[in-house]
Amino acid sequence: MRRRSLLAVAGWLATAVLATLVGMAAIRLVGESITGTPGGVRSQEEVERALATPAPTASGASSPGTGEPTASAGPGARRAFATAGGTAVAECGPGGVRLVSWAPAQDHRVADVDRGPDDDVEVTFVGPGGEHELKVRCVGGEPVAVADD
């Protein structure tokens, strides 16, 4: 009887080891699609570059990170701006400039927002590196980032 119990335990252990090895091999075979990020892990610089590049549009919009217009000049012209603390999109209209949207960078938060419409608008992002303020005015019907007064 003792020999029979020993064989049963040995058989159970062999089955458990075999099942574990088969499971690990299956996970390795499937790879990133289960356990990883499709396309690999990106560095912070790659993410910032990807976020600064606009989605392709028929109007031929340019990069928001550079402050170039993302729409034609004139009323309703929009521009995206980027700081180390986050990004914002501003638009000029009949009532002045207004913030259309804003988003803090990773590890940052929005401390204050003056969305307008007004002569100037601003958003302040706060993070580990300090405070980053973005102030925008309309110049010639287009949003332009300006230094804080």
pLDDT tens digit sequence for 4-54: 888 899 999 999 999 999 888 877 777 655 555 555 667 778 777 777 776
Q: Which two tokens stand for residue 127?
A: 């993070």
Q: In whole angstroms, what is the distance from residue 69 CA to residue 10 CA?
A: 72
pLDDT of residue 135: 95
pLDDT for res 39:
56
- Name the residue among 119, 126, 68 with its Cα closest to residue 135: 119
Average the pLDDT over each of 20-29, 66-75, 85-94, 131-140 and give the range with the smallest value.
Answer: 66-75
Q: Determine the length of the chain.
A: 149
Is the model's pLDDT at 112 over the cut of 90? yes
Tokens for 22, please give them: 């088969």
